[in-house]
A and B are shown apart, each in its own frame.
Chain A
Amino acid sequence: MAGWITKGGNGAQTSIVDGKQHILLMPAWFVIGILLVIPVLVMLIYSFLTQDFRGGVIWEFTLEAYDQFFIDRGLFGDEPARIEWTYLGIFWRSFLQALFAMVFCFLIGFPTAYFIATRAPKSRSFWLFLITIPYWVNLLIRTVSMKFLIRDTGPLNNWLMSWGVIDDPISMINTNFAIQLGLFYSYLPFMVLPIYASIERYNFALSEAAADLYSNRWTTLFKVVIPAVKPGIIAGCILVFIPSLGAFLAPDLLGGAKNFMIGSLVEEQFKGQSGDWPFGAAVSMILLTIIMIILLFYARAQSRDNNGGH
């Protein structure tokens, strides 16, 4: 329609920002470059420096931090090198917790997103609004609320006891279960919203066509609907998995001191004077590398999906 304006006249489309784009982008480049890109590079350097026991670092190159993470040389450092399982174990546990959080969020989130997307427009936007609110509510307050709810003397145990379901309070706080519940609760809206966005664009005529060809409901769901909305599902899974992997609040407030996750391990290294900055930097670097690899695979899968149709 507007083609004659944009393409007509003296040939090229002009815009009010032409030739000034670099100036307009300067603030963003500077701010993010200086306050995020450079800090990550400095963190990389720090992970190769020597620990200063008064906090901070000594500017001497060493692989000590990565050695401490991966290799066990015994208590006095004189035994033959073996694989150090302490930190890999923490990463593995965090990985599993994040994976389970992702799976449970999907099991609740997918039906919810599907249900919302099949509502009438009015009630659809209201449901969406209700799901969006917790997304914006302070994560600290949500985690504290969960802690309050499931404490030994909290409302949940009180009700269960007063209804006679249990005789003694179930000890839920400071367990892996509590962390799991906290992660699930924290990131549930992150799963619903992208899946909803995909289902909203799904053409339900495809479901009808499947039904006309004698596919039953569930076959249609697994063979037609889910493949069609796969990009939304993957986006939701990533949005739950990544923050869960580096989560700090849920393990700290709900898991207590014994149930370490990556986030608490990192935080520990920067607390007070006793911390080990190079080790904390190395752990952060390893976490960042894992996440960048996941995002890279995601980006490649996405561009393959986009090109696959042509």
Chain B
Amino acid sequence: MAKTSQRISWYPGFREMAWLCLIILYAPLIIVMVYSFNNSPSITVWKGFSLVWYNEVFFGPEAGKFKQATVNSLTIAILAAVTSTVIATLSALAMIRGRAFRGQAVTFGLINLPLMVPEIVTAVATLIFFASIGFERGLLSILLAHIVFCIPFAYLPIAARLQGISNVYEQAARDLYATPGQTFRLILFPMMLPGILSGFLLAFIISLDDFIITNFVKGAGVETLPTAIFGAVKQGIKPNIMAISTLMLAASILLVTISYLISRMGNNRD
């Protein structure tokens, strides 16, 4: 029976399409990684393995610029991820625990609004808003813009996790005279932690990756890593760009893997 059903669900060519999909997704990334180790000033002819472009990134003439951009990016990403995770956690508690309330659907729409408005529109709206109230463009304006679009990314895993936790634990704690604060701190929060961590990491990656909105609200002279890379690419792709890209790729993959492992750990514990 199992054999029949497997044959019925099988379609010729689907396996090949899936492999093609993987190749399409990964080929450009792998090629950039490989060529970032190329020992040649021309970026297209392979001349053997070397770390010369990584040396250029860390110690070359543009090293200072990229270092400053990295510091800016990391500072903004950490602050935006922490703030949006706190906001998302509070919102998830209110939305998923407790009674239905008036305006719940609207609130849900509001939390997900940053996902629905196209990035370029958010970028324009934020720029115009800051300009109209005379808010100076710089690191703070970038941070505020990032917090907004990080909220839904932090919210989704936290809400999913909270939905999976039965409320009997809180009820038991309350029956044993724990205050709401104690119940949250000692019971609910530890159980929500995998969702909160994975929400934090996703918000962190999203902030680190953002280009369009940052490019609009950053103001002159302030650069994050993506805007610095974009500026450099506009002058032509040089091998040091490929080295930086490879480093960023590695960082993203590492963070996604950690987030994946955390959420799996959380699910296995139940």
Which residues on A are within 8 Å of B, measured CB to CB? 2, 5-6, 13-18, 20-22, 24-25, 27-29, 31-33, 35-40, 42-43, 46, 56, 108-109, 111-112, 114-116, 118, 127, 129-134, 136-142, 144-149, 151, 153-155, 158, 185, 188-189, 192, 204-205, 207-208, 211, 217, 220-221, 242-243, 245-246, 248-249, 253, 262-263, 266-267, 270, 277, 280-281, 284, 287-288, 291-292, 295
- Count chain B CB atoms within 10 A of each CB in A17, A192, A245 and give the residue with the most: A17
For A134, what are the chain B residues with a Cβ–Cβ distance below 8 Å?
25-26, 29
Closest to B259 in A: A136
For residue B102, give the distance in angstroms from its CB to the closest CB of chain A.
Answer: 10
Roughly how many angstroms separate A116 CA and B6 CA in the complex, as a whole number? Answer: 13
Roughly how many angstroms separate A18 CA and B180 CA in the complex, as a whole number? Answer: 10
Q: Is the CB of B116 within 8 A of A149?
A: no
For B47, what are the chain A residues with a Cβ–Cβ distance below 8 Å?
none
Closest to B21 in A: A112
For B208, what are the chain A residues with a Cβ–Cβ distance below 8 Å?
138
A133-B256, A137-B249 given; A42·B129 CB < 8 A: yes
A32-B148, A42-B132 given; A136·B205 CB < 8 A: yes
Select A109's contact among B21, B229, B237, beta carbons within 8 Å.
B21
For A245, what are the chain B residues with a Cβ–Cβ distance below 8 Å?
118
Which residues on B are within 8 Å of A, measured CB to CB? 4-6, 8-11, 13-15, 17-18, 20-22, 24-29, 31-32, 35, 43-44, 86-88, 90-91, 93-95, 97-99, 101, 107, 110-111, 113-114, 116-122, 124-129, 131-132, 144-145, 147-148, 151, 166-168, 170-171, 174, 180, 183-184, 188, 202, 205, 208-209, 211-212, 216, 226, 229-230, 233, 237, 241-242, 245, 248-249, 252-253, 255-256, 260
Q: Is the CB of A207 within 8 A of B8?
A: yes
Q: Is the CB of A111 within 8 A of B11?
A: yes
15 additional A-B pairs beyond A36-B117, A139-B209, beta carbons within 8 Å, are A15-B98, A15-B167, A16-B97, A16-B184, A18-B99, A20-B94, A31-B151, A39-B125, A43-B128, A112-B17, A118-B9, A118-B10, A130-B25, A137-B253, A154-B44
Q: Is the CB of A36 within 8 A of B114?
A: yes
Roughly how many angstroms separate A218 CA and B15 CA in the complex, as a whole number? Answer: 16
Q: Is the CB of A248 within 8 A of B17?
A: no
A115-B17, A139-B211, A204-B9 given; A148·B122 CB < 8 A: no
Q: Is the CB of B252 within 8 A of A32?
A: no
Q: Is the CB of B248 within 8 A of A155?
A: no
**5 contacting pairs across A/B (C-beta < 8 A):** A29-B110, A46-B128, A127-B18, A155-B35, A277-B128
Q: Is the CB of A188 within 8 A of B237?
A: no
For A284, what are the chain B residues with a Cβ–Cβ distance below 8 Å?
120-121, 124-125
Q: Is the CB of B90 within 8 A of A28?
A: yes
